[in-house]
Amino acid sequence: MAERLTFSVDSPPSHPDLLTVEDAFKQILDYFELAVHSGNVEYDFVWRLISASVKSPFTVVAEAVSVHPDIDVEPLARAQKRAFANNVVELRKGKIPDDWSAGKIRNTANKVLARYGERVGVTLIKFDLPHAEIPDILVTPDDARIAAGAMGEPFVLETPKAKEQIGSVEGFLVGVGTYWKRPAVRIRERKSGSEIWCEVPEEFRSEFTDKTNFDDVWNNRHVLIRGRIAYGSAGEISRISANEITPIDSIPISTEKIRDKDFTGGLTAEEYLKKLREGNIG
Protein backbone atom coordinates (compact mmCIF):
# COMPACT_ATOMS: atom_id res chain seq x y z
CA MET A 1 0.00 0.00 0.00
CA ALA A 2 1.43 3.39 -1.01
CA GLU A 3 2.26 5.77 1.82
CA ARG A 4 0.83 9.26 1.34
CA LEU A 5 0.98 12.60 3.10
CA THR A 6 -1.59 15.37 2.54
CA PHE A 7 -1.49 19.05 3.48
CA SER A 8 -4.44 21.47 3.17
CA VAL A 9 -3.86 25.18 3.79
CA ASP A 10 -6.77 27.57 4.26
CA SER A 11 -6.93 31.35 4.37
CA PRO A 12 -7.16 33.32 7.63
CA PRO A 13 -10.71 34.30 8.70
CA SER A 14 -9.66 37.95 8.89
CA HIS A 15 -8.70 37.89 5.19
CA PRO A 16 -10.64 35.00 3.61
CA ASP A 17 -9.72 36.00 0.04
CA LEU A 18 -6.09 36.95 0.57
CA LEU A 19 -4.28 33.61 0.80
CA THR A 20 -1.48 34.18 -1.69
CA VAL A 21 0.06 31.52 -3.92
CA GLU A 22 3.44 32.30 -2.38
CA ASP A 23 2.30 31.77 1.22
CA ALA A 24 0.34 28.60 0.40
CA PHE A 25 3.22 26.99 -1.51
CA LYS A 26 5.87 28.03 0.99
CA GLN A 27 3.81 26.74 3.90
CA ILE A 28 3.47 23.31 2.34
CA LEU A 29 7.09 23.16 1.14
CA ASP A 30 8.32 24.07 4.62
CA TYR A 31 6.07 21.44 6.19
CA PHE A 32 7.53 18.81 3.86
CA GLU A 33 11.03 19.91 4.91
CA LEU A 34 10.01 19.45 8.54
CA ALA A 35 8.66 16.00 7.70
CA VAL A 36 11.91 14.98 6.01
CA HIS A 37 13.84 16.13 9.09
CA SER A 38 11.85 13.95 11.47
CA GLY A 39 13.25 10.83 13.12
CA ASN A 40 16.76 9.42 13.24
CA VAL A 41 16.35 7.05 10.31
CA GLU A 42 18.21 7.42 7.01
CA TYR A 43 15.33 7.64 4.55
CA ASP A 44 16.07 6.45 1.00
CA PHE A 45 12.91 7.82 -0.56
CA VAL A 46 11.35 11.06 -1.78
CA TRP A 47 7.85 12.52 -1.62
CA ARG A 48 6.47 12.50 -5.16
CA LEU A 49 3.71 14.96 -6.05
CA ILE A 50 0.42 13.17 -6.73
CA SER A 51 -2.03 16.04 -6.94
CA ALA A 52 -2.49 19.71 -6.13
CA SER A 53 -5.86 21.43 -5.88
CA VAL A 54 -6.13 25.21 -6.03
CA LYS A 55 -9.71 25.13 -4.78
CA SER A 56 -10.13 26.34 -1.22
CA PRO A 57 -8.52 24.95 0.82
CA PHE A 58 -5.28 24.64 -1.18
CA THR A 59 -4.35 20.93 -0.98
CA VAL A 60 -1.28 18.93 -1.96
CA VAL A 61 -1.05 15.13 -1.89
CA ALA A 62 2.35 13.38 -2.03
CA GLU A 63 3.38 9.74 -2.15
CA ALA A 64 6.59 8.14 -0.88
CA VAL A 65 8.71 6.73 -3.72
CA SER A 66 11.97 4.82 -3.25
CA VAL A 67 15.14 6.08 -4.90
CA HIS A 68 16.42 2.48 -5.10
CA PRO A 69 14.29 -0.30 -6.63
CA ASP A 70 15.42 -2.88 -4.06
CA ILE A 71 14.27 -0.90 -1.00
CA ASP A 72 10.84 -1.31 0.55
CA VAL A 73 9.72 2.28 1.02
CA GLU A 74 6.54 1.67 3.00
CA PRO A 75 8.03 0.99 6.48
CA LEU A 76 10.48 3.88 6.03
CA ALA A 77 7.76 6.34 5.02
CA ARG A 78 5.50 5.15 7.81
CA ALA A 79 8.29 5.67 10.35
CA GLN A 80 8.93 9.18 9.06
CA LYS A 81 5.23 10.05 9.24
CA ARG A 82 5.05 8.82 12.83
CA ALA A 83 8.09 10.88 13.82
CA PHE A 84 6.74 13.94 11.99
CA ALA A 85 3.32 13.62 13.68
CA ASN A 86 4.93 13.32 17.10
CA ASN A 87 7.04 16.41 16.42
CA VAL A 88 3.99 18.45 15.38
CA VAL A 89 2.11 17.35 18.49
CA GLU A 90 5.05 18.29 20.72
CA LEU A 91 5.40 21.71 19.13
CA ARG A 92 1.66 22.41 19.53
CA LYS A 93 2.07 21.67 23.24
CA GLY A 94 4.88 24.21 23.54
CA LYS A 95 7.86 21.83 23.44
CA ILE A 96 10.61 22.08 20.82
CA PRO A 97 11.15 18.69 19.14
CA ASP A 98 14.79 17.58 19.21
CA ASP A 99 14.67 17.10 15.42
CA TRP A 100 13.86 20.80 14.89
CA SER A 101 15.73 22.40 17.77
CA ALA A 102 18.73 23.90 15.95
CA GLY A 103 20.15 25.21 12.70
CA LYS A 104 18.30 25.73 9.45
CA ILE A 105 15.46 23.36 10.34
CA ARG A 106 14.63 25.48 13.40
CA ASN A 107 14.39 28.50 11.10
CA THR A 108 12.05 26.51 8.86
CA ALA A 109 9.78 25.76 11.83
CA ASN A 110 9.81 29.47 12.72
CA LYS A 111 8.77 30.43 9.19
CA VAL A 112 5.87 27.95 9.26
CA LEU A 113 4.59 29.39 12.54
CA ALA A 114 5.07 33.01 11.48
CA ARG A 115 2.58 32.68 8.61
CA TYR A 116 -0.31 31.81 10.92
CA GLY A 117 -2.68 34.60 11.87
CA GLU A 118 -2.65 37.20 9.13
CA ARG A 119 -1.24 35.16 6.21
CA VAL A 120 -2.44 31.57 6.81
CA GLY A 121 -5.52 30.37 8.68
CA VAL A 122 -5.31 26.67 9.45
CA THR A 123 -3.39 23.67 8.10
CA LEU A 124 -4.82 20.16 8.04
CA ILE A 125 -2.25 17.34 7.92
CA LYS A 126 -3.47 13.90 6.88
CA PHE A 127 -1.21 10.89 7.35
CA ASP A 128 -3.39 8.26 5.65
CA LEU A 129 -2.78 5.79 8.44
CA PRO A 130 -5.27 4.09 10.79
CA HIS A 131 -6.88 6.88 12.82
CA ALA A 132 -6.01 5.26 16.13
CA GLU A 133 -2.34 5.19 15.12
CA ILE A 134 -1.89 8.72 13.72
CA PRO A 135 -5.02 10.90 13.62
CA ASP A 136 -5.24 13.89 11.33
CA ILE A 137 -3.77 17.07 12.85
CA LEU A 138 -5.30 20.54 12.46
CA VAL A 139 -2.81 23.32 13.20
CA THR A 140 -4.44 26.66 14.10
CA PRO A 141 -3.16 30.17 14.91
CA ASP A 142 -3.73 29.38 18.60
CA ASP A 143 -1.43 26.36 18.25
CA ALA A 144 1.13 28.58 16.53
CA ARG A 145 1.06 31.05 19.45
CA ILE A 146 1.80 28.24 21.91
CA ALA A 147 4.57 26.89 19.67
CA ALA A 148 6.02 30.40 19.26
CA GLY A 149 6.60 30.58 22.99
CA ALA A 150 8.61 27.38 22.79
CA MET A 151 10.69 28.53 19.82
CA GLY A 152 11.59 31.85 21.45
CA GLU A 153 13.53 34.76 19.91
CA PRO A 154 14.06 36.03 17.29
CA PHE A 155 10.67 34.73 16.18
CA VAL A 156 7.66 37.01 16.60
CA LEU A 157 4.20 35.70 15.75
CA GLU A 158 1.98 37.96 13.69
CA THR A 159 -1.25 38.37 15.68
CA PRO A 160 -4.23 40.03 14.04
CA LYS A 161 -5.73 42.98 15.93
CA ALA A 162 -9.38 42.65 15.02
CA LYS A 163 -12.62 43.78 16.56
CA GLU A 164 -16.34 43.15 16.08
CA GLN A 165 -19.40 45.32 16.56
CA ILE A 166 -23.09 45.40 15.71
CA GLY A 167 -23.93 47.78 12.89
CA SER A 168 -25.00 48.16 9.29
CA VAL A 169 -23.19 48.41 5.97
CA GLU A 170 -24.52 49.82 2.72
CA GLY A 171 -23.47 48.24 -0.56
CA PHE A 172 -24.40 46.48 -3.77
CA LEU A 173 -25.09 42.75 -4.20
CA VAL A 174 -22.42 41.11 -6.37
CA GLY A 175 -22.67 37.43 -5.50
CA VAL A 176 -24.29 34.60 -3.60
CA GLY A 177 -22.66 31.41 -2.40
CA THR A 178 -21.11 29.97 0.75
CA TYR A 179 -18.59 31.37 3.20
CA TRP A 180 -16.77 28.70 5.20
CA LYS A 181 -19.49 26.28 4.03
CA ARG A 182 -22.31 28.54 5.32
CA PRO A 183 -24.91 30.40 3.19
CA ALA A 184 -23.67 33.89 2.33
CA VAL A 185 -24.10 36.88 0.05
CA ARG A 186 -21.32 39.09 -1.24
CA ILE A 187 -21.58 42.86 -1.42
CA ARG A 188 -19.44 45.68 -2.77
CA GLU A 189 -19.29 48.19 0.07
CA ARG A 190 -20.49 51.61 -1.07
CA LYS A 191 -17.79 53.77 0.51
CA SER A 192 -14.63 51.70 0.03
CA GLY A 193 -15.61 49.65 -3.01
CA SER A 194 -14.30 46.53 -1.23
CA GLU A 195 -16.13 43.23 -1.71
CA ILE A 196 -17.23 41.61 1.55
CA TRP A 197 -18.73 38.22 2.39
CA CYS A 198 -21.86 38.41 4.55
CA GLU A 199 -22.53 35.09 6.27
CA VAL A 200 -26.24 34.34 6.72
CA PRO A 201 -26.98 32.25 9.85
CA GLU A 202 -29.59 29.53 9.37
CA GLU A 203 -32.25 31.36 11.42
CA PHE A 204 -32.15 34.33 9.02
CA ARG A 205 -31.87 32.37 5.78
CA SER A 206 -35.59 32.55 4.90
CA GLU A 207 -35.65 36.33 5.33
CA PHE A 208 -32.83 36.73 2.83
CA THR A 209 -34.41 34.41 0.27
CA ASP A 210 -37.73 36.27 0.64
CA LYS A 211 -36.23 39.71 0.16
CA THR A 212 -33.63 39.00 -2.55
CA ASN A 213 -33.21 36.88 -5.68
CA PHE A 214 -30.75 36.24 -8.51
CA ASP A 215 -31.98 39.30 -10.41
CA ASP A 216 -30.84 41.43 -7.48
CA VAL A 217 -27.35 39.96 -7.81
CA TRP A 218 -27.23 40.34 -11.59
CA ASN A 219 -28.46 43.94 -11.29
CA ASN A 220 -26.16 44.74 -8.35
CA ARG A 221 -29.12 45.74 -6.18
CA HIS A 222 -28.45 48.48 -3.64
CA VAL A 223 -28.94 47.00 -0.13
CA LEU A 224 -28.38 47.68 3.55
CA ILE A 225 -26.92 44.76 5.53
CA ARG A 226 -27.23 44.69 9.31
CA GLY A 227 -25.45 42.32 11.67
CA ARG A 228 -22.17 41.66 13.46
CA ILE A 229 -19.32 43.34 11.58
CA ALA A 230 -15.77 41.98 11.92
CA TYR A 231 -12.83 44.27 11.21
CA GLY A 232 -9.30 43.33 10.19
CA SER A 233 -6.08 44.54 11.81
CA ALA A 234 -5.98 47.63 9.55
CA GLY A 235 -9.54 48.65 10.46
CA GLU A 236 -11.09 47.38 7.24
CA ILE A 237 -14.31 45.32 7.21
CA SER A 238 -13.33 41.68 6.74
CA ARG A 239 -16.71 39.91 7.01
CA ILE A 240 -20.26 40.28 8.34
CA SER A 241 -22.54 37.86 10.15
CA ALA A 242 -25.80 39.23 8.75
CA ASN A 243 -29.22 39.09 10.38
CA GLU A 244 -31.12 41.54 8.16
CA ILE A 245 -31.09 42.76 4.57
CA THR A 246 -33.04 45.77 3.30
CA PRO A 247 -33.23 46.60 -0.42
CA ILE A 248 -32.74 50.30 -1.13
CA ASP A 249 -34.67 51.84 -4.00
CA SER A 250 -32.92 54.85 -5.46
CA ILE A 251 -35.27 57.72 -6.33
CA PRO A 252 -33.96 60.18 -8.95
CA ILE A 253 -34.25 63.77 -7.77
CA SER A 254 -33.73 66.74 -10.06
CA THR A 255 -31.66 69.72 -8.94
CA GLU A 256 -34.73 71.92 -9.29
CA LYS A 257 -36.42 70.06 -6.42
CA ILE A 258 -33.59 70.59 -3.99
CA ARG A 259 -32.37 74.03 -5.05
CA ASP A 260 -33.12 76.85 -2.59
CA LYS A 261 -33.12 80.17 -4.45
CA ASP A 262 -33.11 82.14 -1.18
CA PHE A 263 -30.30 80.15 0.47
CA THR A 264 -27.77 83.05 0.31
CA GLY A 265 -30.32 85.72 1.22
CA GLY A 266 -29.75 87.61 -1.99
CA LEU A 267 -25.94 87.57 -1.68
CA THR A 268 -23.71 86.37 -4.47
CA ALA A 269 -21.81 83.12 -3.87
CA GLU A 270 -18.57 85.07 -3.37
CA GLU A 271 -20.15 87.46 -0.84
CA TYR A 272 -21.84 84.62 1.03
CA LEU A 273 -18.62 82.61 1.37
CA LYS A 274 -16.69 85.69 2.54
CA LYS A 275 -19.20 86.42 5.30
CA LEU A 276 -19.29 82.75 6.26
CA ARG A 277 -15.50 82.66 6.69
CA GLU A 278 -15.60 85.87 8.73
CA GLY A 279 -18.20 84.37 11.04
CA ASN A 280 -20.96 86.78 10.11
CA ILE A 281 -23.26 83.98 8.96
CA GLY A 282 -24.27 80.95 10.88
Q: What is the pLDDT of residues 232-269, one digit of tens each?
A: 656 778 889 999 999 998 776 677 777 777 777 778 87
CA atoms of 157 and 68, how far apart (whole Å) = 41
Helix (H) or strand (E) holding 169: strand 163-179
Higher pLDDT, 60 or 275: 60
Domain ranges of the chain: 4-151, 163-247
Q: Residue 69 has what pLDDT?
A: 78
Whether 151 has a pLDDT exceeding 80, the answer reads: no
Say what the pTM is: 0.55
User: Which top CATH class is 163-247?
Assistant: mainly beta
Neighbours of 155 (CB within 10 A): 17
Please give the full DSSP string across 99-163, using - where no structure is assigned.
GGSSHHHHHHHHHHHHTBTTTB--EEEE--S-TTTS--EEE-HHHHHHHHHHH-TT--------E
Q: In what order do the strands lie in the sheet with 45-53?
A: 45-53, 58-66, 4-9, 123-126, 137-139
Q: What is the pLDDT of residues 14-39, one digit of tens each?
A: 666 667 888 889 999 999 999 999 98
pLDDT band at 194 (very low <50, low <70, confident <90, very high): confident
pLDDT band at 277; cut points 50, 70, 90: confident
pLDDT at 162 over 70: no
